[in-house]
Structure 1
Amino acid sequence: MATFTLADLLEYVRQGGGEDDALNLNGQIAETTFVDLGYDSIAIVEITLLIERGLGIKLPETADKNATPAQFVDLVNELLSELVQP
């Protein structure tokens, strides 16, 4: 099983939430909340749906704009590891 990385998440963020010209997603953003990065609840829903479809997992509704990208990556990896356990 491949590990879901911050780079993977950022691709979904760019697809689902867009990237404002003033926002630099290439910096150290792992511990910055999505709301502080400029993403609202609607953008998080779109990003979540893209990840669910792309990876075949169901993210809990607790994945929200107050989460950090690092927390989101950890959650996705946890769910992916549950898929391969017997």
Structure 2
Amino acid sequence: MQQIDITTLVTLLRSSAGDSDTHDLDGDVLDVPFAELGYDSLALLQVTGTVERDSGVPLDEEALDEAETPRQYLEVVNRVLSARTAA
């Protein structure tokens, strides 16, 4: 799996936990906290499991726990995926 973008993340969130009840996920949600979007740690855990399975790369759970927005989550995930591609 190459790097993921916001479209991929939104698709994974929708498939794991459904659509947001509070925001249009097709809008600009990069800096909206997951809690405000209506996604909890379980939803993100499911998304992370899917990314790990599809990429074959374990992700840093502690760093992902600190990611409060989609932008922060994507930065952590893509940093790991980039490192794997470069290796």
Corresponding residue of 1:70: 71
- Compute the displacement of 1:20 (Å): 3.9
Structure 1 unmatched ranges of 5 or more: none
- Compute the displacement of 1:47 (Å): 1.3
Runs ≥4 residues deviating over 3 A: 20-23
TM-score, normalised to structure 1, is 0.83
Corresponding residue of 2:18: 18
Q: Give the direction of change, closer, same or farther, for the CA distance of 1:84–1:22 in structure 2 (3 Å limit).
A: closer
- Compute the displacement of 1:53 (Å): 0.9
Corresponding residue pairs, total: 86
- Compute the displacement of 1:36 (Å): 1.2
Structure 2 unmatched ranges of 5 or more: none
Determine what percentage of the aligned residue pairs are the same residue. 33
Instruction: Work out whether residues 39 and 65 of structure 1, in 8 Å CA contact, stay in contact via their aligned partners in 2.
Output: no
Corresponding residue of 2:27: 27
Corresponding residue of 1:42: 42
- Compute the displacement of 1:61 (Å): 1.7
TM-score, normalised to structure 2, is 0.82
Question: Considering only aligned residues, what root-mean-square deviation do their CA atoms show, in Å?
Answer: 2.0
Query: Which piece of structure 1 moves more, 20-29 or 54-63?
Result: 20-29
Q: Give the direction of change, closer, same or farther, for the CA distance of 1:65–1:19 in structure 2 (3 Å limit).
A: farther
- Counterparts of 1:11 and 1:78 in 2: how far apart (Å)? 20
